[in-house]
Structure 1
């Protein structure tokens, strides 16, 4: 891979996740304060991510892999996204906003796979080269949060009330338009699938890997993966609103600590995995979810501020130790026949079905703990996902039988 291509792919990854982190983190706060959305409506808006994840395999499997270059579809989808972002920027009520965010997520979610396809196509050894490229995505997400909090101060109390968070959609729209045009200059990534071979919907969605559920251990892992997405949805949907409502300064910038920890624990994961094995790694991840929400429930902006910061910093363990190690385990169980299908099945189950249920439940719990017009009983809200994550952990610990996994070639 030439230096120019490396720079192109790094910039592509930076912009891809700058775009996602530049509006999704503050979405709940914007909807609550500026569009007067209820918890249920906010949940409906966040659930568009799940619908996008469910629809994405059709776009990738039935179109991108068969008929058009990946970089061209990437460019087209981001240009569509830029238009939708501008329309979201000028929208004034939730009824107008919702179909726009749904359309945007249907366009955006497939691009997560497309940027990987473009990257892998240029690499001789993805196991060694991809992490260097992918880390720029995390840097992009962090940069977006820092710009919102410490450059433009859009999430400051007065700015939020004045509707300044609306500018995040304009910022992201500009970035999306740039990435859309830039994508057409990326290295060519032609379709690889055999056009003459018919691909069923079952194969596209990874459902041909359902046979793996006959294995009791994989079934238990699959169920835990779906269930743990319920507390995960609480984090995405409520954290920024929670921090804003209790008076934390620069909440969006503060939340970038979570992405920084994700990078750190991504590096530590192989060592933990090899030393303690898959089962203990998964359990540690689920315990981190419980601890995080307890810290949120009982922390405050005074002497206990460290509890909130610690809860955010646990994101690396919460995400990496469960989801990344889960991808490794899935790859191990699938074997050569179902490698791609099994990963697609887990993605559909978690970001699709699991998160869809999670956002709905988070909306119900949030509305049930509304105090007055726009204040919430956050202690009660956070106790629910803490207890739920602990229950999933107990279920997994009891019914998942420890097994040895070939850890010789684990590279992240």
Structure 2
């Protein structure tokens, strides 16, 4: 009896230890991303004097990383090496690349390092999930309590930049202090790189089961058959198009808030991540009450409203409009992208579930964001060269209009079947 109790206590301690390890892994993974990516647009403008199109090229490296990531995960991680070891190697490489980005003096020097970094970093988003899932008996119930530490990490990074070091405002911003974000991210990447080697062992599933995946399965190309279904085709096209407004936010939000003089802009943008976590909890309620179509329409409408608030708000008496616009991030992201992942899973069927998710990810974060960053860069540069007096208002009206048009088209052409109304 004592031995049984001892085993139960030992297993409990091991489970708690594993959860702590996974939670810290998630915290560092997204702390690293939030530590430099949020302020990247402002850094490019202030420190490197980048043009709108040069900034677009830099941001597009995220899309190239998303496109290449399935090859790294599917052809290497799933077949030959433990996931935690690849995670460690990629983050150690990332630490070196971050230091090179910190040392870069112009965009031409900076670009190859950020491209290499994104190719190394984007696969780690899938690797941390793989390491987590393999340690869980019931991922559906257990994963959210681990993943939330990633959101906390992103929030903490923004708060550190704005309220601890004040790198993103006042004399610090003008003095080029934002370059320190890369040093901070690099140190965190070094820590996670070394830490990864003490994470629970996660050998390749394919090697254990003796299974092999084709390149078409890895990239989600087997799921192209789903595009024969009109409803999925309309959703698929809408998902690519809605990435254009999303790219405007990633590329221009922080430079906009900094330029108009909103205090501690990076810290305030963390409100968006808090909102994302809260609305993720509300998503099942919307699904069960309104169904997929209305839920995703809420997300599209939120994009249009957010950018209208950005267009007509200011850093003074109308600053509340900017804060509301930031807080809408939860609806914008969760109600479209997360609900879209759930819808894709429901429509794909058992045979194409993984392929369909890979296809949608490739189309959105790969192709969609690539188009979006280019459009955002072109519009920003166009209005800057035109010398319009209401520069930022003109910029934000464009994604607001695009989101409104996508909303109308989706409302008119998407027909929801009964079985897709509540996939949760």
Q: Same fold (TM over 0.5)?
A: yes
> How far, CA to CA, are the matches of 1:236 and 1:208 in structure 2?
31
> How far, CA to CA, are the matches of 2:129 and 2:264 in structure 1?
32
Query: Which residue number in structure 1 is paired with residue 393 of structure 2?
Result: 379
Matched, 1:309 2:323: yes
Query: Which residue number in structure 1 is paired with residue 48 of structure 2?
Result: 35
Alignment CA distance shift 1:408-1:369 (3 Å): closer
Matched, 1:137 2:139: no
> How far, CA to CA, are the matches of 2:418 and 2:385 in structure 1?
50
Query: Which residue number in structure 2 is paired with residue 389 of structure 1?
Result: 403
Deviation, 1:244, is 0.4
Q: Alignment partner for residue 325 of structure 1, among 328, 336, 339?
A: 339
Query: Which residue number in structure 2 is paired with residue 77 of structure 1?
Result: 90
Query: Which residue number in structure 1 is paired with residue 123 of structure 2?
Result: 110
Q: Alignment partner for residue 271 of structure 2, among 257, 263, 267?
A: 257
Matched, 1:366 2:380: yes
Deviation, 1:375, is 9.0
Query: Which residue number in structure 1 is paired with residue 105 of structure 2?
Result: 92
After alignment, is 364-373 or 390-399 more displaced? Answer: 364-373
Unmatched segments (≥5 aa) in structure 2: 1-13
Q: Is the 8 A contact 1:371 1:377 kept in 2?
A: no
Query: Which residue number in structure 1 is paired with residue 79 of structure 2?
Result: 66
Q: Is the 8 A contact 1:75 1:182 kept in 2?
A: yes
> How far, CA to CA, are the matches of 1:99 and 1:382 in structure 2?
29
After alignment, is 190-199 or 364-373 more displaced? Answer: 190-199
Query: Which residue number in structure 2 is paired with residue 16 of structure 1?
Result: 29
1:124 match: secondary structure:
coil
Query: Which residue number in structure 2 is paired with residue 295 of structure 1?
Result: 309
Q: Alignment partner for residue 146 of structure 1, among 147, 159, 166?
A: 159
Deviation, 1:294, is 0.1
Query: Which residue number in structure 2 is paired with residue 55 of structure 1?
Result: 68
1:16 match: secondary structure:
helix
Query: Which residue number in structure 2 is paired with residue 341 of structure 1?
Result: 355
Unmatched segments (≥5 aa) in structure 1: none
Q: Is the 8 A contact 1:366 1:376 kept in 2?
A: no
Deviation, 1:409, is 6.6
> How far, CA to CA, are the matches of 2:216 and 2:141 in structure 1?
32
> How far, CA to CA, are the matches of 1:204 and 1:257 in structure 2?
35
Query: Which residue number in structure 1 is paired with residue 5 of structure 2?
Result: none
Q: Is the 8 A contact 2:275 2:329 kept in 1?
A: yes
- The root-mean-square deviation of aligned C-alpha atoms, in Å, is 1.5
> How far, CA to CA, are the matches of 2:408 and 2:102 in structure 1?
44
2:167 match: secondary structure:
coil
Deviation, 1:78, is 0.2
> How far, CA to CA, are the matches of 1:379 and 1:373 in structure 2?
13
Matched, 1:284 2:295: no
> How far, CA to CA, are the matches of 1:48 and 1:12 in structure 2?
24
- Between structure 1 and structure 2, the one with the greater Rg is 2
Q: Is the 8 A contact 1:278 1:405 kept in 2?
A: no
> How far, CA to CA, are the matches of 2:88 and 2:63 in structure 1?
22
Q: Across the two proteins, how many residue pairs are aligned to each other? A: 410
Query: Which residue number in structure 1 is paired with residue 170 of structure 2?
Result: 157
> How far, CA to CA, are the matches of 2:43 and 2:111 in structure 1?
13
Residues 107-164 of structure 1 show CA distances to partners (whole Å, capped at 9, x for unaligned) of 0000000000000000000010000000000000000000000000000121111110
**Bigger helix share:** 2
Query: Which residue number in structure 2 is paired with residue 189 of structure 1?
Result: 202
Alignment CA distance shift 1:196-1:118 (3 Å): closer
Matched, 1:398 2:398: no
> How far, CA to CA, are the matches of 2:260 and 2:82 in structure 1?
47
1:35 match: secondary structure:
coil
Q: Is the 8 A contact 1:369 1:376 kept in 2?
A: no
Query: Which residue number in structure 2 is paired with residue 202 of structure 1?
Result: 216
Residues 175-216 of structure 1 show CA distances to partners (whole Å, capped at 9, x for unaligned) of 000000000000000001158655432222111100000000
1:2 match: secondary structure:
helix
> How far, CA to CA, are the matches of 1:377 and 1:192 in structure 2?
52
> How far, CA to CA, are the matches of 2:239 and 2:98 in structure 1?
31
Query: Which residue number in structure 2 is paired with residue 7 of structure 1?
Result: 20
Residues 367-405 of structure 1 show CA distances to partners (whole Å, capped at 9, x for unaligned) of 011168999700010000000001111111111002223
Query: Which residue number in structure 1 is paired with residue 227 of structure 2?
Result: 213
Residues 49-92 of structure 1 show CA distances to partners (whole Å, capped at 9, x for unaligned) of 00000000000000000000000000000000000000100110
> How far, CA to CA, are the matches of 1:270 and 1:248 in structure 2?
34
> How far, CA to CA, are the matches of 2:388 and 2:237 in structure 1?
35
